[in-house]
Each structure stands twice: as C-alpha cells, then as structure tokens.
Amino acid sequence: MPEADRDRSRRRSTAPAAARPDRARRPAPSKARTRAGAGTGGAFGMSGTRRAALLAMVLCALALSIAVPLRTYLAQRDELRQVTAQQAQLAAEVSKLEQRQAELNDPAQVEAEARKRLHYVRPGETPYIVQLPGDAERSPEEERPSSAPAANTSWYQQLWQSVATK
C-alpha cells in the first residue's frame, strides 16, 4: 500500500492548479494597475494639461529671452541708419563750406563780395545804385547794411548772419 499512497501523491502534484481548490492562484499584478494608483500616466507622470502648460511656459520663457536682445538689435540698427544719413548730410555740408572757404581765400572774391553786399567803394570812386523797374517797391535803405548794430547780438553773430544771408 505504500505504493498506492505514492501514486496518489504523484497524481496530486501533477494535477493542474485549477483542479486544486485549496490553493487558488492569484493573478500577477499588471503594470497598468500599479501605474493607475500612482497617476494618470503620460510622460514624466504628468497629465496632458500639465504638459501643455509646461510647454507654454517654456515657450514664453524662450520668447521673452529672445525679445529683449532682438528689440535692442532693431533699435540699434535704426539708430545706425539715422546716424549714417546724418553723417552723409554733414559731409555734404562740410564740402560745401570748404568750397566757400576756398572762394573766400581769394582776395579778389572778398573784394567783390564787399562791393556787392556791403556797397564798399575804393577811395576816389563814385558809387551808383541802379534801380530796375522791379526794384521800385524796395527802398535803397533795405539794400544798405544798417548803420547801428543789432541789439543783443555779438559782432561774430552779425558777421555770420551777413555771410549766411548771401
């Protein structure tokens, strides 16, 4: 009989687990079930809304970090354009003034300028003022320089005004 007992024990051990009522097998826990308790899933354990908010914050930070240098660059580019235009204008004015200076370095030009604008004459010459038909409205005093200096202006300002009104 001991042999019969051994057969019975072998039958028990070789029987499927579902046939043994005393030892019910429990299913192994799945990964989905363990994640479900920890969060809703997704990358880094964050929900879709949180990921979108984080992405929006990162994009805003990038935009703000780029905006300030870009604004500075554009402002400097505009300023450089204005300064370049002003420099070209000043260079043209300098060349014009250098040409005028070269003209005034000639004594004959200075004498002609004094005769025309200031009505100067050499000793022994008789000055004549010719009036044309269109000059009837103007009086000779308007063409002559004023004998009294202008009030509150220095001599060099008066000189510069007389040269500038050529």
Structure tokens at 72: 């500075």
Enumerate long-range contacts of 159-162, CB under 8 Å, 24 or more apart: 162/117, 162/118
Structure tokens at 160: 């510069």
Query: From residue 157, how far is each of 134, 150, 154, 161 by CA, in Å?
Result: 31, 10, 5, 6
DSSP state of 150: P
- pLDDT(26) > 90: no
Please tell me the predicted confidence (pLDDT) of residue 45.
76
3 state SS of 69? helix
H or E element in which residue 6 lies: helix 2-14
Looking at residue 146, its amino acid is S
pLDDT tens digits, one per residue of 129-140? 887 887 667 665
pTM here is 0.39
Please tell me the predicted confidence (pLDDT) of residue 23.
55
H or E element in which residue 156 lies: helix 155-164
Instruction: Kindly state the greatest CA–CA separation across the chain.
Output: 172
Of 158 and 22, which is predicted with more confidence?
158
What does residue 147 show for φ and ψ, rounded to 5 degrees? -80, -30
What does residue 149 show for φ and ψ, rounded to 5 degrees? -70, 150
pLDDT tens digits, one per residue of 67-84? 989 999 999 999 999 999
